[in-house]
Amino acid sequence: MDAELTALVTAGATTLVQQMATDAWSRTRDRVAAFLARRGSADPSAVAAELDAARAELATARQDGDEETAADVQGEWRQRMRRALVADPDAAAELRALLDELTPRVTAPQIGSVSNSFSGVAHNSTVIQAGSIGSTDCGGRR
């Protein structure tokens, strides 16, 4: 397996394990189970059950501070994804698309200029200078 596919498999397993601790788990589980089931003989519901078991094992390991078991869980799914790509090299594009879907895009903050000026009375309190504070969704109002 070439370096690009190895990196893709590693990213896939890392994303999967990260998603195990999120509210988006059921969607992630179903998408990954379908991806893996298409490249193996397992039924998607059987793969989903395995993923749920891995999630429970990971949660217990993290609660107990057992990083070795947590790493083993990630390694197991990295191997499963690697086998899927070896069985179907064309699946790499689907795995990339799946990772793009599951990994939230982080946008760079917009940089602008902010300036404050104070005059008159001395201010003896906290001043916060920011581009925006709180939600940017103001129902269309700004």
- State pTM to two decimals: 0.68
Which residues make Cβ contacts (< 8 Å) with residue 11, sequence separation at least 6? Answer: 99
CB 33 within 8 A of CB 48: yes
Per-residue pLDDT of the chain (142 residues; tens, 9 = 90+): 688 888 888 999 998 988 998 888 999 999 999 999 988 768 999 999 999 999 999 999 999 999 999 999 999 999 999 999 998 888 999 999 998 988 866 555 556 665 666 666 666 666 666 655 665 555 554 4
Q: Which residues of 81-118 are buried (b: 16+ CB within 10 A; e: fewer)?
A: bbebbeeeeebbebbeebeeebeeeeeeeeeeeeeeee
- C-alpha distance from residue 77 to each of 42, 56, 70 (Å): 15, 14, 11
